[in-house]
């Protein structure tokens, strides 16, 4: 069969829908098993999120919009879900800076710059 006519399994629409449903199932299942001992929920949620973002155009658009609005969180997600276009894993995001920015507030509950 010529290379042009060969299709990957991931190009099949029914396979993509299966991966989207599986991803949503994993994301819903993560908080339900999160109370069990071990890191189960912390592992299932990002895997489900990656499956949905990879196979759903709507989810990709939402992710792009959220990444533009909150670049520090988009940086974390891009680090975790590297794409084929990256030759190597991007550098680890600065954890300390992000945690300080998240939890820094003044006395009146307003976020500081």
Q: What is the pLDDT of residues 56-83, one digit of tens each?
A: 889 889 888 888 887 777 776 776 666 5
DSSP string, 9-65: GGG-HHHHHHHHHHHHHHHHHHHHHTTSSSSHHHHHHHHHHHHHHHH-HHHHHHHHH
Burial class (CB in 10 A: 0-12, 13-18, 19+), 49: buried
pTM: 0.61
- Which residues in the chain show pLDDT less than 50? 107
Domain ranges of the chain: 1-69, 70-113
């Amino acid at each position: 069969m010529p290379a042009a006519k060969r299709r990957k399994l991931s190009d099949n629409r029914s396979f993509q829908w299966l991966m989207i449903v599986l991803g949503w199932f994993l994301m819903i299942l993560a908080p339900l098993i999160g109370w069990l001992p071990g890191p189960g929920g912390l592992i299932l949620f990002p895997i489900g999120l990656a499956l949905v973002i990879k196979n759903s155009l709507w989810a990709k658009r939402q992710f792009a919009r959220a990444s533009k609005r909150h670049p520090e969180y988009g940086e974390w997600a891009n680090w975790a879900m590297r794409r084929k276009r990256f030759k190597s894993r991007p550098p680890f995001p600065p954890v300390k800076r992000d945690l300080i920015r998240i939890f820094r507030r003044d006395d009146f509950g307003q976020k500081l710059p």
